[in-house]
Amino acid sequence: MFALVLCLFMAGEKSIELRYTDVAPQIDGIIEDVWRQADLAHYFMQYRPKDGVPACEPTVAYFLADDDNLYVAFRCYTPGRKPVASFKGFEDHVWLYLDTFGSKTMAYMFAICLSGHHDDGLLLEDGRIQDMSWDYVWFFATKMYEDRYDIEVRIPFKSIRYDKDLDTWGLQIRRWHIKDYEVSHWTEVLQKDGMQVSKFGTLRNIRPRTKGYYVELYPEGFFRYDRRGDSTDYTTSPSFNFKWDPTSQMTLNTTVNPDFAQIESDAYSFNLSRYPVRLEERRPFFVEGLDVFRMSHLGLDFFNSLDIFYSRRVGEPLPLPWVGAVPVLGGFKMINKGGDWNIGALGAYTGEINDTITSDTLNIPNRGFGVARISRSILNNSDIGMIFSGTGTDRDDYNLALGLDGAYRAGSSQFILQSAVSDKNDQRGYAVASGGIYRSSNFIAVGSLISVDESFDVTDMGYVPWQGVTNLYVAAGPAWYPETGPILRCYLEPGFILTKYPEGGQWSKLATVFIEPRFRNQLGFYLYAQAGPMHEAETDYVFRGIEGSFWTSARTHMNLNFGGNYSYRYNYYRSRLYDHVWIANQLSTWHWMSFSPVSRISLITYGELIMEWHPDGELHAITPVWTPRIEYQIMATMGLSTYSEFVFATEEGRLSTAEIYSNRIGFLFSWNFLPKSWIYVAFNNLRRDSGNGLELAERIAAIKLKYLIYF
């Protein structure tokens, strides 16, 4: 009878009440008597290794508040074992999710590890995308016992945005157990659905009574030493960032003379395709709120989004190492989030560059950038939106774009539709993209369509490099979610791809098949194969390719991922280099492995091996890339890391002739000594083959201090 009542209780929507206290808990990891007045979240359900059954290790969460703060405490039992804390490798930890606008699509995330590691970010698109770029001011403490561990958290209401007229927030708690690699949640999460904000439980009686505004003054000091060839420069650069939250929903940011130097360089990439590599944004001013300034997304690799604003275009690096990047002189950003409406505006201004290159002169004028976005929530957790982006130097040199988009979400299924129009110096073009995924208890279907007009051009401020391309991808097949046995879930998706490139009117037609099983013991792999007649670059041939990857984290202190890709295809890099059509075999393999022999040290290695054949069948080139890395965690907030990136070149594709083409050595010391306050000490040394051995191409050393003043 008790089991039946328990099951009925867990099947309904879970809800707890936020209770208020006049005595604030001490955030020291000790759950004292004041927590006895709190309402409790308990009865957690497994997500892994078994779907939808009670968690093997109990968890209890307590919720309190006062005028200025939300307090949360977790008591995590570990019967029969001692909790595991590790600076490197796996450890016991807890995630807290808060949907503070009742949006059912977006939630704040807070992660607390037993060692003291922590992280924060956003859960977007109803749980389909994680954005770990956000950084908040919040506090926590942990304490470990023989058969449990306790965590206390304090989140100032001023640190997060919320709807002040909403008295109920969405709530989810996720616990990661070392034992059997179990994952459990407060509200049930199933393998076929994954985490969904729309299925969170609720935290009731939200009444923030904090007064005043939240202000961040964020000065930065930067000293940098640069040596390129025979030239040496010393740079001292102060910058200033200001953040003001005039309401509980609005944030204003400004930056003056920002330092956007990368603490670590972008990884080396050897690109054989026709399209440029897309790089991740790392610069703080652009990272925070990046989710606002883009159209809705599926969060899946097969969907090509119309990104008419791509922040890496602002102050982008130049292909000239002695010039560096275009300087960003300043920027402004406004974000207003609500339960129904989200609005954002961003502007930036870059400096000019005048540099002489042999007999030519590089002249880059001052340039302004702007983007504005508005979106509205509809139909519970779907949305529609509009985005405008633009850049220009004067009336005769401009690039503008306007985009419309919508996302319909129903359970674990989702459909996206995007359209855009561009105007570059009075040349107009159009583009449309859509994609979707449908899931049921035993079936999955995915698809995407993109069509870009040859005149569509957002090169100066966006990333839509597929001018003149129409591409359709459809795949569908069975899905398995076994309740018992070694397989956790498995997908099998046969499909097809139709593509028309701008060089001609013929369609490329490929048959595809995708299979991905995941196992309960943390093993998994996927295989993706394609084959069919291809027409690109005014050339006809039969394309064939297969890609696969295997991963495991079955051992507590080791992660491993390796895979490869074989294809018979057009090689754009060699075709440009040798000025003739180059259709031949290509093979690449990659690996990534992390091993933690002790709690504070990680030994990491990642690398790639690219092999290219000549059209006549002879092996032409082998390009090995290998990067060993060592990370040492001094304490939870202080760490050291060093790496050495080797890029090799071979003659006529013989490994026996391999010589180092370039070597980049990097070192980084980082200390997060106060909330959002950091000290960095970085060193980067790049050497390239000049024909007479490796010679210095670039050496950079830097010391950077970021200090947060907030009130």
Kindly list the averaged pLDDT for each block of 10 residues, start to end, along the chain of length 711: 42 85 93 94 92 92 94 96 88 95 92 92 87 84 94 92 91 93 93 91 90 78 83 84 86 81 60 82 75 85 91 77 73 87 93 67 86 92 94 93 95 94 96 95 95 95 94 96 91 97 89 95 94 93 96 78 95 88 94 91 94 91 93 93 92 79 92 90 89 85 88 82
CATH topology of domain 12-204: Immunoglobulin-like (2.60.40)
pLDDT of residue 9: 44
Residue 297: phi and psi, rounded to 5, are -135, 150
Chain-centroid distance of CA 590 in Å reads 20
CA dihedral angle for residue 567, residue 569, residue 572, residue 577, rounded to 10 degrees: 90
| Contacts of 485 by beta carbon, 8 Å cutoff, 6+ apart | none
Strand partners, 276: none
Which among 297, 54, 234, 38 has a CA at the least distance from the CA of 152? 38
Chain-centroid distance of CA 61 in Å reads 29
| Contacts of 319 by beta carbon, 8 Å cutoff, 6+ apart | none
Distance CA 322, CA 230 (A): 11
Q: Enumerate the domain spans of the chain.
A: 12-204
pLDDT of residue 265: 57
pLDDT of residue 222: 83
- Half-sphere exposure in the Cβ direction for 54 (13 Å, CA): 13
pLDDT of residue 259: 64
pLDDT of residue 11: 46
User: 3-state SS of the chain: helix, strand, coil percent to 5?
Assistant: 5, 60, 35
pLDDT of residue 522: 86
CB atoms inside a 10 Å sphere around CB 4: 8
CA dihedral angle for residue 688, residue 690, residue 692, residue 695, rounded to 10 degrees: -40
Which among 528, 548, 530 has a CA at the least distance from the CA of 589? 548
Count H helices, E strands: the chain? 3, 42
pLDDT of residue 339: 73
Which among 37, 8, 42 has a CA at the least distance from the CA of 20? 37
pLDDT of residue 250: 87
Distance CA 646, CA 625 (A): 6
The answer to whether 157 and 74 have CB atoms below 8 angstroms apart is no
Distance CA 538, CA 232 (A): 48
pLDDT of residue 1: 39
The answer to whether 91 and 211 have CB atoms below 8 angstroms apart is no
pLDDT of residue 465: 94
pTM, two decimals, is 0.88
Q: 220 to each of 217, 223, 234, 299, how far by Cα in Å?
A: 10, 10, 17, 34
Distance CA 315, CA 284 (A): 13
Distance CA 53, CA 10 (A): 10
Chain-centroid distance of CA 570 in Å reads 30
